[in-house]
Amino acid sequence: MESKKKTYIADINRGIYDLKNEFTYSQKTDKGLNEDIVREISRNKKEPEWVLEKRLKSLEIFNKTENPTWGPDLSEFDISEITTYIRPKAGLATNWDALPGDIRNTFDVLGIPEAEKDALAGVGAQYDSEEVYHSIKQYLIDQGVIYTDFDAAIREYPDIVKKYFQKAIPPTLHKYAALHGAVFSGGSFVYVPKGVNVDIPLQSYYRLNAPGAGQFEHTMIIVEEGANCHFIEGCSAPKYDVTNLHAGSVEIFVGKNATMRFSTIENWSRNMYNLNTKRAIVEENGRIEWVSGSFGSKVSMLYPTSILIGEGASSELTSISFAGEGQYLDNGAQVFHYAPNTKSSMNTKSISSGNGVCVFRGVIKSSENANGSKSTVNCESLMLSEESRSDTIPVIDLYTDDIDIGHEARIGKIDESSIFYLMTRGISEQEARAMLVRGFANPVAKELPIEYAVEMNNLINMELEGTNG
């Protein structure tokens, strides 16, 4: 008789995140990518000619650019099997009740409408390739804050979009930045005027329901001089037996003496290639704060990047990654010190189990005029199995001697004596391990809004149940 199959992390029940709706749509392109498909996307959106020109140029770059020669193997990924645009059977609503029942129920189960009522100043929700919901509090509108979907921004604020679009993430950056530039759809646009404090977070949630599809949302955030904003991004998708792709972009522009915090929990399914790009350009005494949790996905390549171009600009990254059976998460961050007296810090945690691979890839680079700058990098890795792997790959590229750089990396396993101690106090071995892992992740949880900290701990518990099942 065949022995009972062990439940590996790849097979875990992801609960509400694996709920699937029937695959319906009002429009979709054929699989694959060519000029006709790019033109069809632009035509469906009724875009101005300058946007189509950007798309076609990006397509040309994508076709000429090879996959990265480093990091996880992307040779199995085949763009000809991906549907790059799917318009759901829903228009853009400003009231949840106006959405079709299946889409509304999905966001209800994920808790987005409830979070909007309790703790958010504005919410955007994307389903497959299009935003289906957007709202913002009136008191922020009265102060000149703009929070809308990116398609609306192209129509209603073309001068602002043209000024900033692809300035932080040019299509020449890498192959999947070019892919995004060709087929981007959906996403959010945030503009915070000079001196305005967005005192309650804005949030966008991206849900990919369609099998064999890609999601390519474009988020643009502009925080003017002396302003302040906190933006939260959530992502999830159910599991399918075909490849899905996420190649979104986040372009952030932080003005003089302004502060921007970008928090995200990426909770993709195990059939997802997550090839996302996030970059911020920070001016004099401005500050960018990245808080990131990376869960799910078959392969992830994600490196939030801070480009410090003004004197006294600063960047801080706090992140965690969890790789289970069959996952390869190659994550990290980049900071470019291009002005005097700039500061940066990276504090990252990674957890690997089963045969999962977690790689931290950090880049610190300075220009010749970055005198007086400081940077610290601290990465800690926790391995929960003999088969798991954890690597740290730091790159430090300095063009000035007047700079203070520090890098520290620690890799270890769970302390079995701590497990034993907790078990002597009546705690089960599984819960003891979970407590220690949650404690390891706590510095990241503390930086997240409460509902996302709870979600992160729930995700950790799911992963551990799959490991121990």
Digit-coded pLDDT (tens) for 174-200: 999 999 999 999 999 999 999 999 989
Specify which residues 323 forms β-bridges with: 352
Question: Can you tell me the distance from the alpha carbon of 133 to that of 200, in angstroms, rounded to the nearest whole number?
Answer: 19
Per-residue pLDDT, averaged over 32-49, amounts to 97
Question: Can you tell me the distance from the alpha carbon of 428 to that of 239, in angstroms, rounded to the nearest whole number?
Answer: 30
Q: Which residue has the higher pLDDT, 19 or 383?
A: 383
Q: What angle do CA 298, 212, 72 make, to 5 degrees?
A: 25
Question: Can you tell me the distance from the alpha carbon of 41 to that of 390, in angstroms, rounded to the nearest whole number?
Answer: 40
pLDDT tens digits for range 262-285: 999 888 888 999 999 999 999 999
pLDDT band for position 65 (50/70/90)? very high
Question: Can you tell me the distance from the alpha carbon of 213 to that of 235, in angstroms, rounded to the nearest whole number?
Answer: 15
- What pLDDT is recorded for position 186? 95
- What pLDDT is recorded for position 331? 95
CB atoms within 10 A of CB 340: 18
Specify which residues 229 forms β-bridges with: 260
SS (H, E, C) 91-142: CCECCHHHCCHHHHHHHHHHCHHHHHHHHCCEEEEEECCEEEEEEECHHHHH
pLDDT band for position 412 (50/70/90)? confident
Length of the chain: 469
pLDDT band for position 1 (50/70/90)? very low
